[in-house]
Each structure stands twice: as C-alpha cells, then as structure tokens.
A and B are shown apart, each in its own frame.
Chain A
C-alpha cells in the first residue's frame, strides 16, 4: 500500500509540469522548467538563491501562475489560477513564514478557516479530538493543543503548519524550507514528519538549502539554476559533490573534475547527453552552458 520506492512511484506522477516559463520584467525567473512529483515520494527542489525555487512553488500553489508551459495533475492537464484552485485540487502549501496565528492555540490554528461548528457554535471537542488524532498519526510531539502556538518551539510550529496543510486531504504537499532556522533536534522532528507524509502516500515537494536534509529524507532531487533545470538525481545514487556542482554550475571546479574521473567507469549512463534515464545525472547539471557556448 505504501509506496516508497522511487522507481515504483515514477509510474504515478501526481503532478507533472513541462516547459514552465515565468518572467518578471527583465528577469526570466523560470525558463522551460520541467518538474514532476509522485505519490509516496519526497522530491527535493534545490538551487542557489534566485534560482527560481520559490517562483516554481508559487506556480504550483496558484499564487503566481506561469506565463507558459503545461501542468498535469493526476494525469489530466489543469490550469491553476488561484491558491484556492490549487487547494481544492489537492495541493497544499506550507510557506516559509508558516502563517500561524500566535495568539490562537494549536486547535485554533489547525482548523483556522475550516472550523467545525454545530448549531452555529464551535465544536471544540470534535476539533480537539481530530487534532490529537492527526498529530498522533504524524507522531508529532506536541504536549498540549490548548496552548497558544507562540509558546511552541520552532519545530513544533513547523509541525503545526504542516499538519494544518493535511486537513484538506491533499495529494501534494509543498514545503518551502521546512527546516530553515531550526536546531538539530527540531530539524530531526520535522524530517520525521516528512517521512510520515511519505508513508501516507503523499507527494512531498521540499525546498531546501540543506544538503544533509535532502540526503536524509528526499528520494529524488530536482536542481534549478538560474531559472532552468540543472539536473535530476536519485538521492540513493548521487553524492553531495554532484549536487553542489549542479547547484553552482561549477563544471570546471576541481571537486567536479575529480568526481567525473572517478565516476566515468562506475556510472556510464551519466554520459547520456539528453538524460534518457530520468534518474540519471542530467549533463546540463554539470555544465548548463555546454550547448550554447
């Protein structure tokens, strides 16, 4: 029932974007970007500052629709014109700034905007009960759901924000830098939670700057660089150096050269010019300007 193998998951792409372009004035924020997310898979979206990660997430979340390109959801072409449409479709987004109400308690935040009421009055026991059920299911460590979220730790707040996104029964969850600004223990807590999301057969898209986090939970990595696809990697078959090279585009960097020499024999598919194997290292990742110069 639970699909964890990327190879199996690849058959059921919940979300597939092709040729997505978006321009802000003179800045081509996204240039013909392809991206896919599969059920029961955690895909990390990485790239340097300004690479276009947030812009891509906004396209998927309906906050800033693309100028060009197609989006398929559950195999059908769709148009995501507003956050509401995205949500309705089953795409939940947890933004970096979390958007929690510090003055409300955990239950209040989880159900904000979709409170359960009976006869016009809030049905607090039912909401509290469901909150506990959800938090248990996610093995979330929150001592009380009746404390204002202001009193929670960063990891707990992130947990609340992510749990909140699950109430609408989404198929895709977008997490923008879920571990930024968290300590070691709290990062572990959030990474655990991401595991749980995968177990629930959700497609999880995680933006991250932290390679350790990517290697800890992601199954697949999509690298963006200067608004373009700069590589597609299976986490189990890649290295930190390889990812860093794709992110920075440092083709002639010493680390990369050594790596290439070392890998030349081990992974022959790495030389495939157009990436026929979707999980192989895309050559554009190693040298994004190779075709132009």
Chain B
C-alpha cells in the first residue's frame, strides 16, 4: 500500500533517445509536459485534474442517480426498502439488456427503433413454442433468441446492401415485428407461462440468497483483481507506467463494498434476482468485447470514421451487419427475460415505453448519438436512472401520463447534454 513508483525499478532498461531523463521513468511518461502521476496520491491528483478540466466521466449520471434516490426516499420511505429494490432490480433487467444492444448500434452512429417490437416478438415466440407447442423451455429460449438474430440479420443486410438509413429500416421493423408478435399470439392475447416450469421460476421466483450472491460477488472482485494485476504486470514488463497496486486494491475494495451493499439491501427481502445477474453478466461481457477485442475496436473505429476504418482494411459491412444482429439478439433476450419476470407474454410485451426507455438509458448512461463514443457500463447506469424514475413515481401514485412526460423530458435533457458535449469537443479539440 505504500508503493510510490510505478516502474519496474532495477531491471528497467534506460529509455532510448531521451537523454537527461531519469532511467526509471516509464516509456509513456517521459514527455516533460506530462505531470508525473505516481502512487495512490498521484492517481488521486490526476483524477481531480481530470474533473477540473471538465472530463467528468460518469459522474453526472451517478450524481443524478443520488438526487433521484434522495428525492424519492424523502417522498416515500419505502423507496429504499428491500422489497422495492428487489422489484426495481427485476424491472430494469429486460430493458437494461435491450439498452445494451442500443449502445452497440449507437456506437456505429446508427439507431435501432425496432428493439421494443423485437423483444415483444421474441417473448411471443417463447410463450407459443413452450406453452402452445409444448417444446422444452430450453428449445423455446433458443428459438426466441435465434429469431432475434435472424431479425437483426435482415436489418443489417438491408442496411448495408441498399444503404437505406437504419432509422427507416428499423422504423419499418418496429411495425413489422409487432405485427409478427400479434400474429404469433393469434387469438390467445396473453399466454401465461407454466407456474412450475423453470422458465417462470428463473424469472419471478428465483433469487440468489446471501450465499449465492456472496459467491458471485467474490468471483466478481477476484476477477477484477486478477485482470487488473495482470494488466499492471504486462504494462510494467513493457516498461510502461502502470496504476499502483494500492490503487487496484482500493478499487477492488470499493467494488466489494458496493456488492456487499447491494447484497445486504436485496437479501433482506427475496434476494438478488437471477435476471438482474443476467443483466450484470451481459453488461460486463459487452464491455469486454468493446474494450478488449479487435471486434470492439472495429465498432468504435467505424463509428468514429467509417472511411478510415475502410482504408484500414476493416470489413465494415460485415461488422455493421453483425452489430444489428447483436442488437436484435439482445433485444430478444430482453424479451425472454421480461416474459420470465411477468410470467407471461402478451400483445403489450415490448410495447409502450420500452423502446424509448432503452434508448434513454443508453444515452443517459453516456452513449453518444453521434457514434463512436460511449462511457463504460452506459446501459447499466442509464437503466438505473430510467428504471428508478417510474418506480419512484409509482410509489407516490403519479399517473402513467406524468411518468411518460418525465421520462421523455429526461431523455431530451440527456440528448441535449450529448449535443453540447459534442460541440464542446469540437471547439476544444478534445476527444
């Protein structure tokens, strides 16, 4: 915890071509214009400087979330009750998963307006194949999610082949897939999932208690520690600066504390919903793909400058098509999760404010509508805000109409912030 330098020390080779610099200075810190950011104190200083310079990261969303929580808690003390939080955690799972796909499409600089309908259609396919046709639940899930993939493939191919704006294709999809949803459900209207089957239990009745959720939290923290420490080692080996081990430990401690808080809050009641864990898993998986793989890098590049991506030899059309496939697949997964939570699939599943909430969550979380930029975990942070608002308004008995107005206004505010930030970036030339 007392470590002060970030470089390898004795074995470090002198940095080439940089006469006059101390031998221990890491390769990436030799420029005199860079302030030396070493140790825990240095990291803290650097963070403060970043915030002062207006690089506030996800801070505004977090602050917004705290404000929302404080207001609702003041209005109705049951807001932070374990029962309500368990409900909130289940409610946001499906839209959060759908928002994850929206983030991917936004990164390309495109939009998918069909995600709500696709989730509804997938829920319908799930229910009909499981209940009406008696297929095993696993097969029903594969069919529903697979249908999402096929739908995404159709969108992607239409988009890349004919160059029709994604806005128009997916607007048509919004109507078409909702029609398919109703067609599949036919006269039944709503199909209840069998109460005893694992499909339903996975959603509404399955929760991780103290033991289960603690195991998950330990795995999460251990995974974080291992990857961060390995990354640190790799950077030191490459003679680059690396975050001090103490900082990694502090961050891991913070994650552990947060996880502990969530477990404590939820497990007083039913526990951590399975579907919330599914959301978390997908959020982390998508983040990994985006930040750590060539595929993710390609998505960012295409959103940043498609011509540059093309000249760099990226298979632009293939990647764009695959992102539409992913978006629809995630939307379908969200639909399946929603059917599990509600214990039914109906004509209304995936309709109403599902689409707008998913887009709002993505944008509020920090995915730019202009492509190529997104803060980490945008979908999760955004859906916490977007989910907390109707949940809290419900507790103070506000009408649906007002809920719509408020959610719509929040989305508008987020979009304006996005546009202003973009203009600021262009003016100051910062990324």
Partner of A103, one of B28, B33, B303, B314: B303
In the complex, A108 Cα to B16 Cα: how many Å?
23
Let me know if A125 is at the binding interface, CB within 8 A. Answer: yes
Contact with B along A83-101 (1 / 0, CB 8 A): 1100000000001011111
Of listed B28, B239, B292, residue having the most chain A CB within 10 A: B28
Contact A121 B33 (CB under 8 A): no
CB contact list, A127-155 vs B, under 8 A: 128-129, 132-133, 136-137, 139, 141-152
> Would A145 and B294 count as touching, CB distance under 8 A?
no
Selected from B231, B240, B308, the residue in CB contact (under 8 A) with A101 is B308
Measured CB to CB, the closest approach of chain B to A159, in angstroms, equals: 14
Count of A-B residue pairs with CB < 8 Å = 112
B293 touches A101 (CB 8 A): no
Taking a contact as CB atoms under 8 Å apart, the answer to whether A122 and B293 are in contact is: yes
The answer to whether A113 and B314 have CB atoms under 8 Å apart is yes
Establish whether residues A125 and B237, one from each chain, have CB atoms under 8 Å apart when the complex forms: yes
Residues of A at under 8 Å CB distance from B?
Answer: 83-84, 95, 97-105, 108-109, 112-115, 117, 120-126, 128-129, 132-133, 136-137, 139, 141-152
A128 to B373, CA, bound (A): 21
B240–A128 touching, CB < 8 Å: yes
Let me know if B300 and A104 touch, CB within 8 A: yes
Which residues B301-334 have CB closer than 8 A to chain A? 301, 303-305, 307-309, 311-314
Check A147/B431 contact, CB under 8 A, given A99-B307, A103-B372, A129-B240.
Answer: yes
B303 contact set on A, CB distance < 8 A = 103
Knowing A102-B305, A104-B300, A144-B28 touch, does A151 contact B429 (C-beta < 8 A)? yes
Give the CA-CA distance A251 to B313 in the complex, in Å.
46
B-to-A contact residues, CB < 8 Å? 16-18, 27-28, 31, 33-34, 231, 234-235, 237-240, 292-294, 297, 300-301, 303-305, 307-309, 311-314, 372-373, 425, 428-431
**Smallest CB–CB gap between B48 and chain A, Å?**
18
**Chain A: CB-nearest residue to B34:** A143
Chain A's closest residue to B373 (CB) is: A103
Complex Cα distance A114/B301, Å? 13
Closest to A112 in B: B312
**A117 CA / B430 CA spacing, docked (Å):** 28
A151 closest partner in B (C-beta): B430
A134 CB to closest chain B CB (Å) equals 12
| Cβ contact within 8 Å between A112 and B237 | no
Task: Give the nearest-CB partner of A120 in chain B.
Answer: B293
* A-B residue pairs in contact (CB < 8 Å), sample of 27: A83-B311, A84-B313, A99-B311, A100-B308, A102-B431, A103-B373, A104-B297, A104-B300, A108-B300, A112-B297, A112-B312, A117-B293, A117-B294, A122-B294, A123-B234, A124-B234, A128-B235, A136-B17, A136-B18, A137-B17, A139-B17, A147-B431, A150-B431, A151-B428, A151-B429, A151-B431, A152-B429
Contacts of A152 in B (CB 8 A): 429
CB <8 Å contact, A103 and B431: yes
Across the two chains, which residue of chain B brings its CB closest to A152? B429
Shortest beta-carbon distance, A157 to chain B, in Å?
10
Please provide the 4 A-B residue pairs with the shortest distance between their CB atoms, ordered closest to farther. Answer: A148-B431, A113-B312, A101-B304, A103-B304
Contact of B235 among A115, A125, A141 (CB under 8 A): A125
Q: Is the CB of B305 within 8 A of A101?
A: yes
Q: Are A115 and B305 in contact (CB under 8 A)?
A: no
Q: From residue A237, how far is it (CB to closest CB) to chain B in Å?
A: 35
